[in-house]
Amino acid sequence: MTNHPSAKKITICQPDDWHVHLRDGTLLKGVLRSTAKVFRRAIVMPNLQPPITSIDAAFAYRDRILASLPRELSFTPLMTAYLTDDFSSKVLEKGHSKGIFFAAKLYPANSTTNSASGVSDLRRIDFLLETMERIGLPLLIHGEVTDPDVDIFDREAVFIDRHLTPLLTRFPDLRIVLEHITTEHAVKFVESNGPNLAATITPHHLHINRNAMFLNGLRSDFYCLPVVKREKHRLALRKAATSGKPCFFLGTDSAPHLRSSKENACGCAGIFNAPFAIESYVEVFEQEDSLDSLEAFASKNGSQFYGLPSNKDSITLIKESQTVPKYIEILNDQGQLEHLVPFHAGETLSWRIETKNSNGSE
């Protein structure tokens, strides 16, 4: 990395996105380029309808992703299994040995978009977690309780205390990623429970607090799960992301929904940040005077946690402003034009990608 805190240009090893929703069908075709043009690899979430619960389904989804990939881009989708109460440990093991299950995703039932078939009670899948611990298959967690009696802003913290703490005791060698953390509590918990526990942090949780959802009215563009929290949590996340600590790495949780699904009597949770994700992160690192730590967070810590080599290529970011479009046009499954609203829509970001530098060795 060539970099200095006051640099107007920085070059980092090509980043990876360790948590992304690429969707399916026409939406997949419409959003894939945004991720693949910047990120070399991405862990692809399995919450399709129906979810990815078999080896065949994972292979078929990977094929659909690769078939939608623009030819000039090199991109490796890393596939995940969607855990359910009755998932078979044999299937998990076989999918892992065939190289199609890179990790398994735990959605507590009904915690977020398309999670109705998720796990109803963590204790019920101990047999799966035993297998995963033994074969070294990482567990990716959407860490929120779904108990309607728990305040929505407290659901992550309650999950950590109620479920994650005992889970770490039961399975000390299981490698776990607490995805898209949103609180100071999660930051401290992850920091003090390594090295088998790590966390991803999204760009939106670094930029906005919960006021954004209610600015001059109800703003569904800023509604995601876990929901954004108070300012003190955003500040704790910014400190964690820019700390360079190996337990924190990039995972955008980019989660596109068509405008018609966002602006609706029951609008969907999810923020589509893929089109300007790295620009969004670099802005935070610059504001925190931590550009030197960007490469660790975006390009090194994640691959290290997952036991993969760093990417050989690099990208150069230059401090030149650009305005994010208010919306991106996309075809829906019926072939009609619809809108996707990207994170930072209408805002001016101060960095842009200058070049992607190939080392020609892959």
∠156-42-225 over CA atoms, to 5°? 25
Smaller CB distance to Zn ion: residue 235 or 269? 269
For position 253 contacting Zn ion by CB under 5 A, the verdict is yes
Closest CA to 169 of 143, 197, 136: 197
As given in the structure block, the two tokens for residue 4 are 């200095």
**Beta carbon of residue 224, minimum distance to Zn ion (angstroms, whole number):** 8
User: Which one of 48-56, 129-137, 250-258, 285-293 is the stretch in contact with Zn ion (CB under 5 A)?
Assistant: 250-258
For Zn ion, which is the closer residue by CB, 82 or 351? 82
For the chain, the 3-state helix, strand and coil shares in percent, each to the nearest 5, are 35, 20, 45
From the CB of 116, what's the least distance to Zn ion, in Å?
15
CB of 21 to Zn ion, least distance (A): 6
Q: Sketch the per residue contact string, 73 through 112, with Zn ion: x for CB under 5 A, - otherwise.
A: ----------------------------------------
State the residue number with the nearest CB to Zn ion: 253
**With contact defined as beta carbons under 8 Å apart, do 186 and 156 qualify?**
yes
From 166-174, 208-216, 235-243, 247-255, span contacting Zn ion (CB under 5 A): 247-255
The Cα–Cα gap between 341 and 143 comes to 26
Q: Cβ 307 to Zn ion, closest distance in Å?
A: 22
What secondary structure letter does DSSP report for 13?
E
CA distances to 19, 57, 230 from 234, rounded to whole Å, are 19, 37, 7
Q: Considering beta carbons, is residue 30 or 46 the nearer one to Zn ion?
A: 46
For the record, the structure tokens of 332 come out as 């829906």
Catalytic sites, residue numbers:
253
- Six-digit token pair at 11? 């070059």
Instruction: Give least dist CB 32 to Zn ion, A.
Output: 16
**CB within 8 A of 121, min separation 6: which ones?**
85
Residues 35, 22 contacting (CB under 8 angstroms): yes
Closer of 51 and 293 to Zn ion (Cβ): 51
Helices (H), the chain: 25-36, 55-68, 89-97, 126-135, 155-159, 165-170, 184-191, 203-207, 231-241, 259-262, 277-287, 294-295, 301-306
Give CA 35 to chain center in angstroms: 11
The interface region with Zn ion, picked from 249-257, 258-266, 306-314, 320-328 by CB under 5 A, is 249-257
Please tell me the count of residues contacting Zn ion according to CB under 5 A: 1
Stretch touching Zn ion by CB under 5 A, among 58-66, 202-210, 248-256, 306-314: 248-256
Nearer to Zn ion, 17 or 295 (CB): 17
Give the closest residue to 59 by CA, choosing from 102, 107, 105, 118: 102
Stretch near Zn ion under the rule CB under 5 A, chosen from 103-111, 121-129, 245-253, 275-283:
245-253
Residue 22 φ/ψ region, left for φ over 0, alpha for ψ in the -120 to 50 degree band, beta for the rest: alpha
Which of 12, 178 has the CB closer to Zn ion? Answer: 178
Instruction: Provide, rounded to whole angstroms, the least separation between the CB of residue 17 and Zn ion.
Output: 11
Give 18 or 285: the residue with its C-beta nearer to Zn ion: 18
Is residue 17 involved in binding Zn ion (CB under 5 A)?
A: no
CB of 225 to Zn ion, least distance (A): 8
What residues line the site for Zn ion (CB under 5 A)?
253
